Chains A and B, each alone.
Chain A
Amino acid sequence: MLARRTLLRAGGWAAGLALIGLPAAAPAAAVVEIRMRGNADGSKVWFDPIGVLVEPGQTIRWINIDPGNAHTSTAYHPANAGHPLRIPEGAAPWNSDYLLPEQSFELSLTTAGVYDYFCIPHEEAGMAGRLVVGRPQGSLSAATLPEPARRLLPSPEEIVRRKAVRATP
């Protein structure tokens, strides 16, 4: 967006018209979809996949496919009701707010690193997920993770190796 606006200002009308209909300069990576799921009686809820490797700037889409519940994708960040910081220093926090069945939320992250997030109504039930953006160095301490999430979340190394890690609830 920023690049396109700069070009328009520089080249004026002709460049602007030429841009319309042209494919993006770099091939856009496919959207990574993370499903918010629950079983029939609501006793299990989870992000599927629970761990995903994405490229910086790649679009991540959470979609609620659980017909009987609302879910959120919410970054572990003090801005979200005082939760511990579990995303890279300086990266912007996000909160999808409640998504009803079939509703979705999109985000792209540019800062490389490990991002942990949770679902507001299901944090106590262990509904959390992990994103690895790029090829970050080092690992996060598990100390600030709630116990159910600590048991479930795959390590960043495993996510990098397998690209997507699914958890069987």
Chain B
Amino acid sequence: MLIRTILIAGAFALAVVPAQAQSVDKAPPGGAYKKVSELVKLPDFLPGMGTLYVDPKTLPAGPFLAYDHDGRLASTIYMIPVEDIQGQKTFDNLKAAGGNVDHVDMYYNAGHPGVEKPHYHIVLWHVSKADEARVAK
């Protein structure tokens, strides 16, 4: 009886482990991640990026997880204020839970609710250049 209980408990523990090391491949990513459009006034789906999730504690840098219309992870985005780059600020150990990176884009953004200061988007694409079309609009 006791042995069976331990076995069952053990099986539960095993079942719990993968849930904790939860994959962020599919939306919603869970954990501390919140949908950006529910945190600030922004459209649900941002053309060129997708549907964004972020842990509010990590603002403004992120990571932001960006999903396509089917809820598949398209990119991981960091948003770095230009004044922080000019101020030579260090951003250390930013999380990167999204897996394989196909290529990286960096581009300037004038700001938006959530990250008002003009900033750079550093985009780790988890899909090919051609598949960026999935989040184009």
Residues of A within 8 A of B (CB): 38, 40-45, 67-70, 98, 100-101, 120-122, 124-125, 127
CB–CB A42/B112 < 8 A:
yes
Determine how close the nearest CB of chain A comes to the CB of B98; give it in whole angstroms: 21
* Given known A124-B116, A125-B118, contact A69–B108 (CB-CB < 8 A): no
CB–CB B108/A68 < 8 A:
no
Determine how close the nearest CB of chain A comes to the CB of B8; give it in whole angstroms: 50
CB–CB B41/A100 < 8 A:
yes
**B111 CB within 8 Å of chain A:** yes
A70 to B110, CA, bound (A): 12
* Given known A67-B43, A69-B42, contact A41–B107 (CB-CB < 8 A): yes
Cross-chain contact of B111 among A40, A98, A101, A122 (Cβ < 8 A): A122
The interface residues of chain B lying within 8 Å CB-to-CB of A41 are 48, 107-109
Contacting residues of chain B (34-54) with chain A, CB-CB under 8 angstroms: 40-43, 46-49
A103 to B27, CA, bound (A): 27
